[in-house]
Amino acid sequence: MIFEVDRQDIRTTRVVDAAPTTLGRGQVRLNVERFAFTSNNISYAIAGDMLDYWGFFPADAPWGRIPAIGDGGLHFGFYPMADELVVQAERRGDHGFRDVGPHRTDHAATYTDFRDIEAEAAFDVDRIDEYLLLWGMLMTSFLIDDQLGSRGFEGASTAIVTSASSKTSISLASCLAARADVQAIGLTSDRNRAFVEGLGLYDRVATYDEVTEPDSSVRAGLVDMAGKAQVRADIHRQYNASLAFSISVGATHWDQRDADPSPLPGPAPEFFFAPGQRAKRVEDWGPPGSRPPTASFWTAAPTQPPVSSASRSRRRRHHERPQGAGQPGPLRKQQEGGALSDDPVDPPLVIGGAFSSPYSLKMRAVLRYRHIQHRWVLRNSRWDDLPPPPVPVIPVLAWPDGAGGYRDVMVDSSPQITRLEDEHRDRSVVPTDPALAFIDFLLEDFADEWVTKAMYHFRWTYEPDIEKAGLLLPLDRNLQLPDDAHAAAHDFVIERQVSRRALVGSTTANTPIIEDSYRNVLDILHAHLAQRDFLFGDRPGRTDFALYGQLKPLLWWDPTPTAIAVARAPRAVNWLERVDDLAWLPVDGDAGWSALDELEETVHALLIEAGRTYAPFMLANDDALESGADEVVCIIDGAEYRQGPFKYQGKCLQWLREAYADLDTDDRARVDTVLAGTGCGMLFE
């Protein structure tokens, strides 16, 4: 089995079967046990002709075989995405061999060597997955820093790194962070900004459309990982003579790489070829198998952030054979065979939140259910010892840095759940069926982005609810708040929150839409809980925790919606107390999920409610953002709904669409069948 792409259009792919090769003299058959597939492989395809990557593993035109860093029986090297590879082997000392086949004679040793992982000083067999994913990028970043350092960074005091969220850029940022005389500016998309800022490795993070006018006194250089022609041209033109160097490394934005035909001011872009720089350093570092500086870079404690951040925060899949797409991007979880552990950690992960925050309650419940060691801290209280998050929202999750502190922080509950799925195998909240996982992801967003409107509306519309919130919320962080300060905080909180009602849709005109939807959700949940304990079977999924977070204030805290719930949906009121701490719930491996075609009618009813309210709102919000309008206007059940647009909800819709596109053809068809007639399908048309 061999995975191939059309060399002229790499979106076109095929998997072909090949008869086993009969071995000749000096040949070795390597069974490909696993390989890493990352954006770096796209760079290999883009440069396939220029650097002869297509020549590594020849295929019949117009097809090509993209090289991938892989493991063939504990031999680390470049492999095709295939079941096996036959090489003409020539022993290279005690640490491996080289492919000396006639088609490999012009290729750098980096690409033709196969190293015995167990014999290499730089390798740890227990971290093989991390090596496959990160070693190539880590080596490249080390060599970029090494080359620039040997040139004194051409007099530059600032390095601008594009595609700042990529693994190679993260590793390079770690190298640059060790240099006191060079600052690093990371350029990334708006979607990835919070993640990149949370790494704490760049001196400054900006989006591609925020490249500011340069300070003429600052000499800067560009390390272009993105290959985004327009961004590269903008930086050249803005910095002009102040640009000291321009190095082109990758093409993560390969679909935007068409060159600007006009000449670029400043230095000519220089293509960085990692094997060439490595060859220059072999004499200094010693032969393969010795411990070069790259080995220390991988294993030394001061450089753990790029390794741990990249391996933990980036979503990854573990494939032992080429296969189709797996679960939707935001839903993927660590598969069996990873090196991650659920053993207690010391110090534990910290969640910084507030008792009044639905998203804080959601994430605390997830941590409790999943048996993930953690410490709860009231954000901005005297116990709060966490660093500032990328953006000032809650909850904040903070991971220990190994030195007694917390440097690695992130916000946003949905990505937080995804990261925890990457790091912990047991008691997953993501269904094993990709199609069911997508439905769960969709309804999670319905709870987070639509049901939350009811939470805000009831609390800040009715006088008993307003007064209770105004009295109690200021005491969340400080029970010893003096009476005069408490009174002032009471007035401030009420004035601020009531004034924001229209912004989130809580208006007199919208009241029937929001309150009717709240009652519908209660009725559906009450009916469902008469049959099952959770929405998707005998164990909770993402939607269960999202609904819990939004409904807990409505059903247990705010007087007006609580009275409605107790009378209308007593099962739901009781259910919330259970979901608050499900650490007691027995879970048997991956068992307990419902089959997609056996979901209760109440789940279908919830999808209809989402299609009636959330779907038209999300589309209208997206249209408003696209057109630059200052108001979202849509029709829900014949009534006009209006509110201000929200960029974040535009991102949520984008993530949903990406997850839908990531489904393979069969799973997407199964999802379409479930969504048919609900109104939710309009989100993906």
Amino acid at residue number 662: D
- What is the H or E stretch that residue 459 is in? helix 452-459
Distance CA 291, CA 286 (A): 8
Distance CA 614, CA 409 (A): 30
Peptide bond into 62 cis (omega under 30): yes
The pLDDT of residue 288 is 44
Distance CA 597, CA 611 (A): 19
C-alpha gyration radius of the chain: 27
* Exposure b/e, 93-124, CB count within 10 A at least 16 = b: eebbbbbebeebeebeebbbbbbbbeebebbe
- What is the H or E stretch that residue 423 is in? helix 413-423
Q: Which of 604, 600, 594, 593 is nearest to 674 (CA)?
A: 604
The per-residue pLDDT for range 90-115, each reduced to its tens digit, is 887 667 888 888 888 777 777 888 88
| Phi, psi dihedral angles at 338 (to 5 degrees) | -70, 170
Quote the crossing angle between the two packed helices 511-529 and 601-612, to the nearest 10°.
Answer: 170
The pLDDT of residue 530 is 96
Contact 192, 200 (CB under 8 A): no
The pLDDT of residue 44 is 79
The per-residue pLDDT for range 60-100, each reduced to its tens digit, is 888 999 998 888 877 888 889 998 889 888 887 667 888 88
Report field, pTM of the whole predicted structure over 0.85: no
Distance CA 284, CA 636 (A): 70
* Exposure b/e, 493-515, CB count within 10 A at least 16 = b: bbeebeeebeebbbbeebeebbb
| Phi, psi dihedral angles at 186 (to 5 degrees) | -100, 125
DSSP secondary structure string for all residues of 83-120: SEEEEEEEE-TTSEEEE--GGGTTS-HHHHEEEEGGG-
Query: How many Cβ atoms sit within 10 Å of the Cβ of residue 156?
Result: 23
Distance CA 201, CA 97 (A): 37
**Tokens representing 293?**
């500086």
Residues sharing a CB contact under 8 Å with residue 173, sequence separation 6 or more, in sequence order: 161, 164, 184, 186, 199, 201, 202, 306
Strand locations in 370-515, DSSP E? 374-378, 396-400, 406-411
**Tokens representing 184?**
């690093």
Query: How many Cβ atoms sit within 10 Å of the Cβ of residue 422?
Result: 18
The pLDDT of residue 25 is 84
Distance CA 389, CA 662 (A): 30
Distance CA 305, CA 196 (A): 12
Give the three-class secondary structure for 36.
coil
Report CA torsion sign: 285, 286, 287, 293.
negative
Low-confidence ranges of the chain (pLDDT < 70): 50, 93-94, 118-126, 211-217, 250-262, 273-347
Q: Which residues pair with 27 in a beta bridge?
A: 88
Distance CA 169, CA 151 (A): 20
Which residue in this structure is represented by tokens 């560009």? 222
The pLDDT of residue 333 is 35
> Residue length, the chain?
685
Distance CA 243, CA 245 (A): 6
Query: How many Cβ atoms sit within 10 Å of the Cβ of residue 25?
Result: 5
Peptide bond into 388 cis (omega under 30): no
Distance CA 112, CA 92 (A): 11
Beta strands 158-161; 183-188: pairing state: parallel
Distance CA 461, CA 501 (A): 8
